[in-house]
Amino acid sequence: MTEDGVPGLWRRPTTLAALVVALGFLFNFLARGVADAYTVFLVAIEAEYGWPRSALTSVYALYMLTQGLAAPVSGMLFERLGPRAVYAIGLGLLGTATFGAGALVEARWQLHLLLGVVAGLGVSAMGMVPAAALIGRWYRRNMSTALGIAYAGFGSGILVIAPLAQFLIERLGWRGGYQAIGLALLTLVPVTLLLPWRTLAAGHPDMAELRRAGAGGGMRLPQAVRTGPFWALVQVFFFTALGMYVVIAQAVALLVDAGYAPMDAAAAFGVAGMLSVLGVVASGWLGDRLGFRATATLSFASTFAGVLCLIGLSQGANPVLLAGYTLLFGIAQGARGPIVSTLTNRIFAGAGVGTIYGSIFATMSLGAALGSWLAGMLHDLTGGYAVSLLFAAGCIVLAALPFWVSPALARPQPLPLNHPG
């Protein structure tokens, strides 16, 4: 038995390493699936209260912003309190937010507080920041593949929980649906507390020794922000999210304006989202085999080509361009996540990596929120999509650039504590 009471087979490092990846996938599945299901509940809430669509969509924007800004705090809490406390807090917050939304909401501010702020905090504590920090303690080889599997929980959760949410709304109403989801999440809190977190947090025995002996083992956030690789990774994540969400926020509307039926436009958007699950896992696998520069460049080229297809579609319906957008843009959605997570773990290997990755992750959420807002603003100013799509294409180029100008991203090694920047 271990200190956590882990018997037999479960004491093997390979089994524990697989469990870490499975838990990363599961908590991402629950966090993003439940939080993003708000887009399904939105229609029913609007029908009941008649609140403006802009007021309801701003709840989602607030959730994205909150979970991004809270990412560094989640990393810090992971380092100080460990995964047991962080995951339990996250489940508790998300469960409270969803149950409270169904039981208490009577005014818009309550919706913003519960599903914007509280849910955002819960998702941050359950998401990729703790998952990346924990996986980094168990994997040296194939780290990118492991992180890709954990990242796939995002898209998988949305695919499964969104239709489940619609089923619950039809059976229980939107209030009953949210209460049922909230109760299910709160029930998982004591189960989560029983998992062998002390053993999992200790990491692989070989990795633990490597962290103690590694040159970069003690780097913390104040030191990391003075290095070039930190800002190179920020550039990758921020401009990727900025460009992607300029597109994502208006893709369905663009397709409808191009002449497609709303259901067909939504289906194309949904298929693109489904392909992202495959793309994220493939990105992690290729990163371990082809290298990060080649894999990232391939993914950015795919995104860029998908945006070009949308530029063509903005002039009118075209089945070839629609297939190109769906495949090329969809397969690359989220593909940079495992790459940036792996690079952060390798470059800033050590006790402070959770906070460092959380800070880098926060800039991605800021880019996503800004991109969503710019999509509408540029469309209103120009009366079309060409300017915003060209802007998105430029952002993708800026996001890819660090892989060609920063040696640390092409050949990642732990930075020494006295790294000059």
395-407 pLDDT, tens digit each: 999 999 999 999 8
Q: Of the ranges 182-196, 251-265, 282-296, which is most confident?
A: 182-196
**CATH number belonging to domain 214-410:** 1.20.1250.20
Point out the least confidently predicted range of 80-84, 101-105, 371-375, 386-390.
371-375
Q: What is the CATH number of domain 8-208?
A: 1.20.1250.20
* Residue 212: pLDDT band with limits 50, 70, 90: low
Question: Percentage of the chain with pLDDT > 90?
Answer: 34
Highest mean pLDDT of the ranges 94-108, 149-163, 248-262: 94-108
Segment 265-287 shows an average pLDDT of 80
Yes or no: say if 340 and 283 are a contact pair by the CB < 8 Å rule: no
Q: How far apart are CA 373 and CA 110, in angstroms?
A: 22
pTM of the model: 0.75
**Is there a common fold for 8-208 and 214-410?**
yes
pLDDT value of position 1: 45
Mean of pLDDT values over 24-43 = 85
Domain boundaries, given as residue ranges, for the chain: 8-208, 214-410
